Amino acid sequence: MSAETLDLAVEPGTLPRDVAQGVAAAGVDVNPLLLYAWFRLSGEARQIKAGSYELERGVTPRSLLRKLVRGDETLRAVTLVEGWTFAQVRSALLKAEQLASTTRGLEPDLIMKSLGRPGLHPEGRFFPDTYTYAKGSSDLAVLKRALRAMDKRLDAAWAQRAPDTPLTTPDEALILASIIEKETGRASDRPMIAAVFSNRLRIGMMLQTDPTVIYGLGDKFDGNLRRRDLQTDTPWNTYTRVGLPPTPIAMPGKSALLAAVQPAPSKALYFVARGDGSSEFSADLAAHNRAVNKYQRRQQ
C-alpha cells in the first residue's frame, strides 16, 4: 500500500456523520462537517455500506461517496489448495495478508466448536478455493465459508452418486475423495483410481494406499515410507485395516468428490505409477505385477 493510500473502516450501523468524521481521521484532507453535508445533500447518505476501504488522500467527495455506496471494499485473498491438510490450511491463514488470527493456538476441536460443528474432525471439511476477505476479517470467518462450501459441494456430489456405489454416506464419499485427491498424479486418472478403491471396498479387499499410512504417521513421517510403517497399525493404516479410514486425510476438490461417487466403469483392482504422473491399471495381480516390473523396478 502506498503512502498516499489510507485505510477507512466503516462498522455496521455507523451514522453518516461518524463516517465523515472517520474519513477525516483516516487522513483525507476534508472538512468532516462539509463532507457530512455533501452526504446528506446527495440523498445517498443512508446507503453507505459497512466495510474496509482504501482511499486516496486526495479523493473527491463524489468519488468517495460512490465507493462507499457501492461497497467497493479493498479485498485480499487466500487460496486453499486441493490436497492440503488442515494443518496446511491453518498455516496459510496465519500467513494471509491482514487476516485476523482468532484461532491461533486453539486446538482443532475448539475451532470446530466455534464453527458450530462440535465433535466433527476438521480434516477434509473445508473446500479448496480462493476466498476473498476485507482487511481485518477473521480466519474463523474464512473457515466458516470454506466449511459451508464443502457442505454444498459434498451434498451436490452425493446427489449424483452411482446406484451401485459401495459408499453408504456422504462422509464416506468425502473420505474416499480425499484419498483419490492424494493418489492422483494426473487429473484424468481420478475416475479410474476411484474405480479401484470402489471395487476393493465392494469385495472387502484392503485399500492399501500409502497416503493414508503417511497421514496416520503424522509428525513421525520423515519423507521416506518404510516397510515397517506399512506394518505399524494406526486407524488410518489401510494396509492393516479393511475399509475406509475414520476421517478424510486432506481436502478434496470438486473433481475428486465427483470421482468418488461416479467411478469409471472398470474391474480394475490395482494401479501403479508410470513415472510420468499417470497410472497403469490392472484387473488382476498377475497383470499388476507385470506393470510394476515395467514401470517401477526399471526406475530403481
Domains of the chain, each with CATH number or no CATH: 5-70 (3.30.1490.480), 75-156 (no CATH), 162-299 (no CATH)
d(CA 122, CA 112): 7
The residue assigned the cell 526406475 is 299
Angle, helices 254-261 vs 139-158, to 10°: value is: 30
How confident is the prediction along the chain (300 residues), in pLDDT tens digits per residue?
A: 444 677 788 888 889 999 999 999 988 888 999 999 988 888 888 889 887 788 888 888 888 888 898 877 777 899 999 999 999 999 999 999 889 999 999 999 999 999 999 999 999 999 999 998 877 889 999 999 999 999 999 999 999 999 999 999 999 999 999 999 999 989 999 999 999 999 999 999 999 999 999 999 999 999 899 999 999 999 999 999 999 999 999 999 999 999 999 999 999 999 999 988 899 999 999 999 999 998 876 554
DSSP state of 219: G
What is the CB neighbour count within 10 angstroms for residue 54? 16
**The three grid cell numbers given for residue 114, joined into one nine-digit string:** 466455534
**Is this prediction's pTM over 0.85?**
no
